[in-house]
Chains A and B, each alone.
Chain A
Amino acid sequence: MSEDAVTPEAVRHVAALARVDLEDDEVDQFTEQFADILAAFETLDSVPDVETDADLTNVMRADEVRDSLETNAALRNAPDSEDDYFKGPNVS
């Protein structure tokens, strides 16, 4: 566990990847909790290799044109829209 010790920097890094801003007290709390939880997850190291022959089948449907949501129904929950498009923040 030592080399992977959960640090506040690691929590901030993951939060940035997940696009969730954290307050400083949240970082401290999660750092402590993640150490315990990830240590528990490490018990998975003792799971034996298991033969897995996944029973997978493709599910296909006919490629036919059919009705979809009306534009105004799709847009009605959007905080902002313009000319029948969703309007989001600047990309850069």
Chain B
Amino acid sequence: MSEDIFITETTIDGADDGPLAGQTVAVKDNISTADVRTTCGSRMLEEYVPPYDATVVDRITEAGATIVGKANMDEFGMGTTTETSHFGPTDNPAAPGHVPGGSSGGSAAAVAASEADLALGSDTGGSIRCPAAFCGVVGIKPTYGLVSRYGLVAYANSLEQIGPLAATTEEAAALLDVIAGPDEYDGTTREDPNADCGSYAAAADGDVDGLTIGIPTELLEGADEAVVETFWDAIGTLEDQGATTHEVSLPSVEHAVEAYYVIAMSEASSNLARFDGVCYGHSGGYEGNWNESFSKARAEGFGPEVKRRILLGTYALSAGYHDKYYKKAQDARAWVKQDFDAALEEADVLASPTMPVTPFELGESLDDPLQMYLADANTVPVNLADLPAISAPAGETEGLPVGIQFVGPAFGERRLVRAASALE
């Protein structure tokens, strides 16, 4: 286990039979598992043992899967490298010495290192797709509302979705088949309106003849040259199989990163207010005034990236600044949605590099948070627009994996699976 993939190794047996019988699954450590500690990569929840299972955990064990561990992650999902974990960074099995991406880095690494057949991650601004790209595996960020978030420790509710990671598109889609669908415990879940089009796994037939692919120019402009070259090679492979491509413009994405971080941090500042060390979590055992003892417990329990985001979120929501930051960010979000809807009227899917860069070296990037936030430029617009996306391996450059991202319309997961499977 040299890569430090799991925070907790465990065995949670599934049912004897089912569509995932015999399969092993790594579960990101912000997804609740009854009687198995769930830390969110944080000192705050180092000893927290949930009394109930997340809905997705119920579904995968009922489907016959065995959970083999709780995977390492950026603290509370806040990061792009899995280096903000209280439990230390995970190494990238596909590119040793480099980060596995974040925040579901342990989940992607578990699949890349064959420590698990499948994995569950969560994606708030790219946290499934980024590590999938960096570790050379497949990751799906489902349409908002397709997968229940019940039992997912909340970071930014309006943006995040649980989704699958696997070595192949078909395996990832098969895991999505198991976890997707309405849940009475999550009022934001919806029935897939395309449910009569067959399973997601069945869509992994590699048939892209006639598929139209829109390529947003803005998502190529800031990317490394070697990444863009690998991306075009993958597009060429799809064209050879009958897909057609055209350029599209998404002017709104220029503001997506800023809008994303304002919204995510604002929601985080509210969600993480529950960690006061009274009902659960790190308390520090301080005596005296309620507010003072909370403030000390939270200072000890949270790492620097979490504090940074809570404070920035509190700032953005505070009196006098709400209209300047949060309201404008919501306008930008609506604009991004419009842009994507328009582009997807002219194309079946949109394609771009998943990450504009190759995996950073471990320790390379922690000092400059703004630079790190900008690395999410290609993934965050999708969360703002509530759309589904997949990251699949596009190839390598100098031994480092490059991911290609396909984005589809709401509940268009099947066409994403089809496009990604054509590259295998």
Using Cβ atoms and an 8 Å threshold, which residues of chain A touch B290?
A: 88-92
| B314 interfacial contact with A, CB 8 Å | yes
B22 within 8 A of A: no
Residue of B nearest to A70 (CB): B51
CB-defined contacts of B325 to chain A, threshold 8 Å: 41, 44
Asked whether A89 lies within 8 Å of B370 as measured between CB atoms, the reply is no
The listed residue (A44, A48, A89) touching B259 by CB distance below 8 A is A44
Within the complex, the shortest CB–CB distance from B260 to chain A, in Å, comes to 11
- A77:B311 contact, CB within 8 angstroms: no
A49: Cβ under 8 A from any B Cβ: yes
Task: Indicate whether A65 reaches chain B with its CB closer than 8 angstroms.
Answer: no
Query: Quick check: is A45 within 8 A (CB to CB) of the other chain?
Result: yes
Are B289 and A41 within 8 A (Cβ)? no
Kindly state whether residue B237 has any CB partner on chain A within 8 Å.
Answer: no
A20 in contact with B289 (CB, 8 Å): no
Interface positions, chain A 62-78, Cβ under 8 Å from B, are: 69, 73-74, 76-78
B345 interface hit (Cβ, 8 Å): no
In this complex, how many residues of chain A approach chain B with their Cβ under 8 Å: the count is 49
- Contacting residues, chain B, for A38 (C-beta < 8 A): 312, 315
Q: How far apart are the CA atoms of A19 and B356 in the complex, in Å?
A: 36
| Contact indicator A41/B262 (Cβ below 8 Å) | yes
B331 and A45 contact, CB distance less than 8 A: no
CA distance A10 to B316 in the complex (A): 12
Known: A26-B304, A44-B255, A50-B331. Is A14-B261 also a contact (CB below 8 A)? no
CB pair A43–B52 under 8 Å, yes or no, is no
Residues facing A in B298-335 (CB within 8 A) are: 298-299, 302, 304, 307-308, 310-312, 314-316, 318, 324-325, 328-332, 334-335
Residues in A neighbouring B295, C-beta threshold 8 A: 15-16, 19-21
The smallest beta-carbon distance between A80 and chain B, in angstroms, is 7
A21 to B184 Cα, complex, angstroms:
39
Which of B49, B269, B335 contacts A77 (CB under 8 A)?
Answer: B49
Say whether B87 faces chain A, with CB atoms less than 8 Å apart.
Answer: no
CA distance A66 to B314 in the complex (A): 36
Q: Are A14 and B311 in contact (CB under 8 A)?
A: yes
B312 touches A37 (CB 8 A): yes
Tell me the A13-33 residues at the B interface (CB within 8 Å).
Answer: 14-23, 26, 30, 33
In the assembly, what is the distance between CA of A40 and CA of B273, in Å?
25
- Asked if B126 is an interface residue, CB under 8 A from chain A, the answer is no
* Contact, CB under 8 Å: A79 / B312: no
**Which of the residues A14, A15, A44, A88 comes within 8 Å of B278, measured between beta carbons?**
A88
**Chain A residues near B399 (CB, 8 Å)?**
none
Which A residue sits closest to B185, measured CB to CB? A61
* B315–A78 CB distance below 8 A: no
Q: Is B296 part of the contact surface with A, judged by Cβ < 8 Å?
A: yes
Find the A residue at minimum CB distance from B299. Answer: A21
* Interface residue ranges of B250-281 to A (CB < 8 Å): 255, 257-259, 261-262, 269, 273, 276-281
- Given A37-B369, A38-B312, output 4 extra A-B contacts at Cβ < 8 Å: A14-B318, A43-B258, A45-B324, A50-B338
**Chain B positions near chain A (C-beta within 8 angstroms):** 47-49, 51-52, 184, 187-188, 255, 257-259, 261-262, 269, 273, 276-281, 283, 285-291, 293-296, 298-299, 302, 304, 307-308, 310-312, 314-316, 318, 324-325, 328-332, 334-335, 338, 369-370, 373
- The 6 A-B pairs at the shortest CB distance, nearest first, are namely A77-B280, A21-B299, A59-B187, A73-B51, A44-B328, A79-B283
CB<8 Å pairs between A and B, sample of 7: A26-B307, A37-B369, A40-B370, A44-B262, A47-B335, A74-B51, A79-B278
